[in-house]
Amino acid sequence: MPRYRLDIEYDGSAFAGWQRQAGQRSVQEAIEDAIKAFSGDEVSIRGAGRTDAGVHASGQVAHVDLARDWPADRVRDALNAHLGLANDAVAILAARKVADEFDARFSAMARHYLYRIINRRARLALEAKRAWWVPKRLDAAAMHEAAQHLVGRHDFTTFRSAHCQANSPLRTLDRLDVTRDGDVIEIRASARSFLHNQVRSMTGTLKRVGEGGWTPPDVKEALEAADRSRCGPVAPPDGLYLVKVDYPAEN
């Protein structure tokens, strides 16, 4: 059975998250339904990141094995047609045939997330559910300084959801950059893998620094405490995007 890699965009506000769950519409189910409508195959697809309800993606990756050897562009176009008929807020940006060893989740070498904050007095209209609205002025330079204490290999227990199923709280954060352009603050986070709610937990904590409630060294202390109760409020899902997943060059 040929294996296909799918590159996927979705509006997370329309879904109960990536992962299939009874009684609620998930991105996984929407794509699996489209695959069945197109090919007749009843499949289970695996994604690189199990994004939560409300979290978006512009570069999610999944893999699927199909019974027939379809041209990859045909798979992309047919899935998009069926996703359109079902009115699901998902797009298949690309499909390509990959080696049987390719696994969207386990072959991933790095995941890249973007968190968008709109920092202005006025509520959001065009960006509602697409960004976190923070009316109080944030100091993005202080947020960036604080973020550098989190980069590197650490025990991220402080920034991990109580529901996280990972065996270890150790992760290596390769990048955590905070930049401002006008009213928009962007936080870019990269790592081989993240703990559950890690990006939103770090973002909520950095926002505290931006407001002046915490200093950058407070974030270092919170990290070193390895204590979930030391985390700032978890940022809402609206601003979070899975933007890219890296794989070894041959994929």
* 11 scored as a contact of a second copy (CB under 8 A): yes
Active site residue 52: yes
Strand partners, 187: 115, 178
Secondary structure letter of residue 127 according to DSSP = T
Q: What is the C-alpha separation between 251 and 231, in angstroms, rounded? A: 37
Q: Is 96 in the site for a second copy (CB under 8 A)?
A: no
* 4 labeled binding residue: no
For a second copy, give the closer residue by CB, 78 or 176.
78
122 near a second copy, judged by CB under 8 A: yes
Identify the bridge partners of residue 114 per DSSP, sorted by sequence position. Answer: 188, 241
Scan residues 142-201 and list those touching a second copy (CB under 8 A): none
- Binding-site member from 128, 170, 179, 217 for a second copy (CB under 8 A): 128
Contacting a second copy within 29-58 (CB under 8 A): 56, 58
CA distances from 212 to 65, 78, 152, 185, 241 (A): 51, 51, 24, 16, 26
CB of 206 to a second copy, least distance (A): 24
CA torsion sign for 152, 157, 161, 167 is positive
Residue from 37, 43, 53, 93 touching a second copy (CB under 8 A): that is 93
Both ends of the chain: CA-CA distance in Å? 17
- The contact mask relative to a second copy for 53-92 (x = CB under 8 A, - = no) is ---x-x--------------x--xx--x--xx----xxxx
The number of residues that bind a second copy (CB under 8 A) is 26
Q: At what angle do helices 72-85 and 27-39 cross, to 10 degrees?
A: 110
Say whether 231 sits in a helix, a strand or coil.
coil
Q: Provide, rounded to whole angstroms, the least separation between the CB of residue 100 and a second copy.
A: 25
Interacting residues of 84 by C-beta distance below 8 A, sequence separation 6+ = none
Torsion angles phi and psi, residue 36, rounded to 5: -65, -40
From the list 7, 52, 88, 238, the catalytic residue is: 52
Active site amino acids: 52
Residue positions in the annotated binding site for substrate? Answer: 113
Binding residues: 113
Residues that bind a second copy (CB under 8 A): 9-11, 56, 58, 73, 76-77, 80, 83-84, 89-94, 120-126, 128, 130
